Structure 1
Amino acid sequence: MLEMIPCDIILQFERQEMAAALADRAIGAIVGSAVADAAAQPLHWVYDLQKLQAILAQEPNPEFRSESANPFYRRLTGQQSCYGDQAYILLESLSECGGLYVDDLKQRTLKFFGPGSEYDTPINDPYRDRGGCENDCQIDGIAKLAPVVAFYAGKPDMLEKVDKAVRVTQNNDAFLEHFILNGPDPKALDAVLDQLSDKNRRLPQDMDNSVIGLPGAFQAALHGVLTARQYEQAIRDTMSCGGCTCSRGSFIGACLGAQIGLEGIPSTWKSKTLRYNSVLEHAKNITRHLK
């Protein structure tokens, strides 16, 4: 006669399964963001709709396009955009420091983007002369946040850490955190809006009650997440809209990656992302505490 398995053993096993699923969603968010960014990079910042339509007519699946159509900068196919580079620097800092250390993040950011770097180009000189854009409230700050949200998801200081990470480059994301903690949820937006309207919300922002005030790219990214049926098609759809494809793609990729986990992200896309192995290694490192 088989002995009954003690309840405490069953509960321990269930907790381990839940923790593993949480870690997988966190890794999925980080990798999903990086892969989507790399996929969209060759069509980043294409605002000429006629040019874009001509490209899409020839290549309806434009991800990882071999020839960049970006009129502002050119990178190898499979490399990250400038947003993806910011996310990677943040991920690397979290991984090697064991958490968010703003001074370390500042130093890494300066080294990667500052004088003597590949970003030290004449096209950026006017912004450097003005000391940057400290009041910039565009989607840049959201596009890079998957690593820090994944690391601190479910912790009471998550929003504080997000705020500090954003202010390293912009002095001015509970939505992604919801998917990491809960997985797919058709009522995710309602849940997050309830949080934003909570009078006792931690770190309230002026824009909490003003959806209209959100950057247009973020509204489009939210639409992409809420209407997505599949990871690949969601990224293709946002690429077909032109403009800031990488910022939208990064956010959409993070939110969908958090829902489908690492294995749900297409292997062919992961293999084309040049930094994939490093991203995965760091992602696993910063999510060990979740297991």
Structure 2
Amino acid sequence: MTEKLPGDRRTQVISAIAGGWVADAASLGLHWLYNSDRIAEVGGRYPEFLPPRADYFEGVFGYFAHEGKIPGDISHYGAATKVLTDSLLANKGELNIRDYQRRFVNHFGPGGGWQGFIDNPTRGTLNNLVATEQKAIELAFSSIETDLSEKQKRILVQKVLPYTRRLSGDQLAAPVREAINLTYQESRIQEAGVLLAETIDGHLQPDSGADDMQLPAVSKLPPLVACYLGQRDLMDCVEAAVRVTNNNDEAVAWARCTARLLEELFLGTPPSEAIEAASELAPDPKNLAAAISDTALNPVKAGDTFGRTCYLHEAMPVCFHIISQAQSFTEAVRANIHCGGDSCGRAWIIGPAMAAIHGVGHEKGVPLSWLARVTDGADLFADLEALV
């Protein structure tokens, strides 16, 4: 759909998703600090891009999760968004669940590129995918007629798994045979290995996610929404993507609400109308209505009223309050940080929404200086340009 958009809207969509990276990185230093007074004490009027430090959390409630990170780094939310972005890029803007799952495991699993906090849905998803894989292995060996020793079975699993975790379908047979041939030249053992690979490949479940209704369900939606703008299957793709990591009906409902908000804003719908359209899909429209009914921005009060944790029924009203009341991207990001709690998770809704409204480089838009502070920002933003 994005190739059909006018040039200015395409630029706005790119700016919007970039706003997610910026808001995430800006929030990292005080992420999961729940005490608003301490946040004000440490961050003052400019709490963005602070270095993550354990001493911020001493004597107050919070969880210091980002040891070793530096200002400009993204959180695990941003890392998961990049996994989905990479999958969309590799598949020409289309959601490919198996490719997405494999990239997710390869990035967050053992030996992957991610170094940092692993949240509950990520851990649960990895566990579920491994469990499904193990069941498929057992099923394959129960159906293989070739007589194999336990040693041969172990070696076949070791030979096959590197390929089933990266390849699928017709791509599997040739490299699997070649790998097995290094140890076993018998065709019967090679055929058993191919059957093992095909069985694992055929039993990968699309709804691999944890039973979890926290912010990771919606935080990685911006690039997906950008790829399916205005398409009738947007919501089906949203549900499919969410269930990869969060196999929970309430999480899917909030994801639909989030996707509608972002879609409308990406297409240029006025903020008040976009919020109204999204609210119609919310599983808790009453709290959203209360959140946007205030006449002034008060993130601390919003946190006190609705909650500051990662759960969607707490986070979404806070997001809607800030988006409806903040007058600029900078004000919204700072308000989100001052609210406290899961600021990085909320940043992936607030940042893209406010950047879609105000753009980049304008007085109310994403500051260029903030764009320049995001670690590996040039590569991240180049991916967005290629995707959109």
* Normalised-by-shorter TM-score class: 0.7 to 0.9
Q: 2:97 — aligned with what?
A: 102
SS in 1 for 2:70: coil
Give the distance between the partners of 1:277 and 1:160, measured in 2 at CA: 32
Measure how far apart 1:183 and its partner are: 4.4
Which protein shows a greater Rg? 2
Give the root-mean-square deviation of aligned CA atoms: 2.9
Matches within 5 A, 1:222-241: 222-241=320-339
Give the distance between the partners of 1:40 and 1:20, measured in 2 at CA: 30
Unaligned 5+ segments in structure 2 are 57-62, 129-208, 249-258, 289-310
* More RCO (CA 8 Å, sep 6+): 1
Q: 2:135 — aligned with what?
A: none
Which deviates more, 16-25 or 134-143?
Answer: 16-25
Alignment-mate amino acid for residue 66 of structure 2: Y
Give the distance between the partners of 2:124 and 2:223, measured in 1 at CA: 27
Of 23, 29, 36 in structure 1, the residue corresponding to residue 16 of structure 2 is: 29
Give the distance between the partners of 1:121 and 1:236, measured in 2 at CA: 23
Of 37, 41, 49 in structure 2, the residue corresponding to residue 54 of structure 1 is: 41
Unaligned 5+ segments in structure 1 are 1-15, 197-204
Q: Tell me, yes or no, if the aligned pair for 1:45 and 1:243 is still in contact at 8 Å.
A: yes
Of 93, 99, 117 in structure 1, the residue corresponding to residue 87 of structure 2 is: 93
TM-score, normalization: structure 1? 0.79
SS in 2 for 1:115: coil
Of 317, 329, 333 in structure 2, the residue corresponding to residue 219 of structure 1 is: 317
Of 366, 369, 376 in structure 2, the residue corresponding to residue 268 of structure 1 is: 369
Q: Deviations over 1:257-283 (max 9, x none)?
A: 112234432100000001321221111
Moved over 6 A (4+): 120-124
Measure how far apart 1:186 and its partner are: 2.5
Alignment-mate amino acid for residue 224 of structure 2: V
Q: Tell me, yes or no, if the aligned pair for 1:24 and 1:262 is still in contact at 8 Å.
A: no
Q: Tell me, yes or no, if the aligned pair for 2:28 and 2:52 is still in contact at 8 Å.
A: no
Q: Tell me, yes or no, if the aligned pair for 1:151 and 1:286 is still in contact at 8 Å.
A: yes
SS in 2 for 1:131: helix
Q: Tell me, yes or no, if the aligned pair for 1:29 and 1:150 is still in contact at 8 Å.
A: no
Q: Deviations over 1:188-246 (max 9, x none)?
A: 2223345x3xxxxxxxx8x3767579520111011111111010111001100110001
Give the distance between the partners of 1:221 and 1:260, measured in 2 at CA: 16
Q: 1:191 — aligned with what?
A: 277
| Residues 18 and 49 of structure 1: CA distance in aligned 2, closer, same or farther (over 3 Å) | closer
Q: Deviations over 1:30-53 (max 9, x none)?
A: 101111101111111112445323
SS in 2 for 1:257: helix
| Residues 223 and 96 of structure 1: CA distance in aligned 2, closer, same or farther (over 3 Å) | same
Q: Deviations over 1:51-106 (max 9, x none)?
A: 323213xx320111134456122222111111111111111211122121111111
| Residues 226 and 108 of structure 1: CA distance in aligned 2, closer, same or farther (over 3 Å) | same
Give the distance between the partners of 1:95 and 1:282, measured in 2 at CA: 8
Say if 2:127 is the partner of 1:131: yes
Which deviates more, 254-263 or 130-139?
Answer: 130-139
Q: 1:165 — aligned with what?
A: 241
